[in-house]
């Protein structure tokens, strides 16, 4: 059994409706520290038994926390809910005890309405924090009227300030839409989370100033992490990005000013990183392995690669490592065919990368329209099988 089969068969075996031990301490205990400002959802009528609809009770706790300022506390349990309206300066908190696969003791927010937009709506929740919760959609992937997201930020217009929404130590699993969908966002922090097997992207966003650190993006049906319209001023650091059905990271439509450093990109169907129509991006010190498993839905198509630069300008690719390989257990084809594919790109600098056994055919594939690029001091050879 390969890694991906193990991951999701283990999750499927115990996670159709997550359930957890319900001893008295776990069921209602708040942190032993200062309890002032903590609003226990069970004090507002939430059951957390995996059977009772809890949206109304949880919303009461959120509204109380907005009025007095504080933290909405989720004891261990499974809370059936949807379309919760998060408020400014409110923190949703559970204790993060989740793992890469299977069920955990983290409090679960279980989607209970396939006609909803999301589990938590943070559209107007400036300076809100969400930590230590497991967002769980529908493992059977039943059809929905619209994509249902784990956390959604989708206001009608831009805020006059910085939203500064922080999401940390959470798990997003089997959402029919995106794990996190951020539209018109200005300043967001995503740290220490797992985005696995969501129907869209792990995270999809349109906005500026994102800090994305120490996360896992695994097996999402679109990109692991993707921007649309404009995605700018992003620091993407120390993340594991694997087995996503399109790109690991996608930077599209007028994105700029990204720093992508110290990440691992493994076994994505498209390129590990895909850049389209964006500029001034630094890709440094990352490891790329066996990307381009099946890029039919990506612009590079049969020209599978680790990095795809299409209509990109001013991109620096420096000091990275690349490896071609088969899938887990030595099955399937060696991928990718090329290290880097370029089309219509200009003023890009690709230097001092190690392509030893990093591709099957050529280090670079020129698809035309490129100019004023500098490719130098790279070393490597095709994979010798």
Query: Rounded to an integer, what distance in angstroms lies between the CA atom of residue 23 and that of residue 80?
Result: 19
Strand partners for 316: 282, 349
Residue 55 in domain? no
Query: pLDDT (tens digit, 9 = 90+) per residue, 181-210?
Result: 999 999 999 999 999 999 999 999 999 999
Residue 11 in domain? no
- What is the domain-level CATH number for residue 121? 2.160.20.10
Residue 322 in domain? yes
Q: What is the pLDDT of residue 68?
A: 80
Looking up tokens 């887990």 gives: 328
Residue 3 in domain? no
Q: How many domains does the chain have?
A: 1
Residue 74: C-alpha distances to residues 55, 65, 200 (Å): 13, 13, 27
Residue 215: C-alpha distances to residues 24, 353, 380 (Å): 32, 24, 30
Residue 89 in domain? yes
Residue 154 in domain? yes
Q: What is the pLDDT of residue 148?
A: 96
* pLDDT beneath 70: ranges in the chain: 1-36, 102-103, 385
Q: What is the pLDDT of residue 100?
A: 84
| 338 CA to centre of own chain | 26
Query: pLDDT (tens digit, 9 = 90+) per residue, 289-303?
Result: 999 999 988 889 999
Q: Which residues of 80-113 are buried (b: 16+ CB within 10 A; e: fewer)?
A: bbbbbebbeebbbbbbbebebbbbbbbbbbbbbe
Rounded to 5 degrees, what angle do the CA atoms 14, 215, 322 make?
Answer: 110
Instruction: Give the range of the structural domain holding residue 284, as residue numbers without chain letter.
Output: 76-96+108-381
Residue 24 in domain? no
Residue 341 in domain? yes
């Amino acid at each position: 059994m390969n890694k991906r089969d193990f991951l999701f068969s283990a999750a499927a075996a115990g996670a159709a409706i997550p359930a957890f031990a319900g001893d008295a301490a776990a069921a209602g205990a708040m942190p032993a520290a200062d309890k002032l400002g903590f609003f226990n959802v069970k004090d507002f009528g939430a059951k957390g038994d995996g059977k009772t609809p809890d949206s109304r009770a949880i919303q009461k706790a959120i509204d109380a926390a907005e009025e007095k300022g504080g933290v909405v506390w989720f004891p261990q349990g499974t809370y059936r809910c949807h379309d919760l309206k998060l408020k400014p300066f409110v923190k949703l908190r559970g204790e993060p005890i989740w793992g890469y696969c299977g069920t955990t003791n983290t409090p679960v927010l279980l989607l209970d309405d396939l006609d909803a937009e999301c589990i938590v709506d943070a559209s107007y929740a400036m300076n809100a924090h969400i930590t230590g919760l497991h967002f769980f959609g529908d493992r059977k992937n039943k059809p929905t009227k619209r994509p249902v997201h784990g956390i959604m930020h989708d206001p009608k217009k831009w805020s006059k300030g910085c939203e500064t929404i922080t999401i940390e130590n959470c798990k997003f699993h089997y959402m029919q839409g995106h794990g996190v969908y951020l539209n018109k966002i200005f300043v967001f922090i995503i740290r220490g989370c797992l985005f696995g097997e969501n129907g869209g992207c792990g995270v999809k966003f349109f906005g500026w100033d994102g800090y994305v650190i120490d996360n896992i993006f695994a097996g999402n049906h679109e990109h692991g992490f993707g921007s649309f319209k404009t995605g700018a001023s992003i620091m993407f650091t120390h993340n594991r990005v694997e087995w996503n059905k399109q790109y690991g990271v996608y930077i599209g439509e007028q994105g700029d000013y990204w720093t992508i450093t110290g990440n691992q990109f493994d076994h994505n169907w498209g390129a590990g990183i895909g850049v389209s129509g964006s500029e001034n991006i630094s890709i440094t010190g990352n490891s790329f392995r066996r990307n381009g498993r099946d890029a039919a839905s990506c612009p590079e198509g049969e020209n599978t690669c680790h990095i795809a630069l299409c209509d990109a300008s001013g991109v620096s690719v420096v000091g990275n490592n690349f490896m071609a390989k088969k899938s887990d257990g030595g099955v399937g084809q060696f991928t990718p065919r090329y290290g880097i594919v370029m089309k219509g790109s200009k003023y890009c600098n690709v230097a001092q990368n190690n392509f030893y056994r990093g591709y099957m055919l050529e280090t670079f594939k020129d698809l035309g329209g490129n100019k004023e690029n500098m490719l130098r001091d790279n070393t490597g050879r095709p994979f010798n099988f």
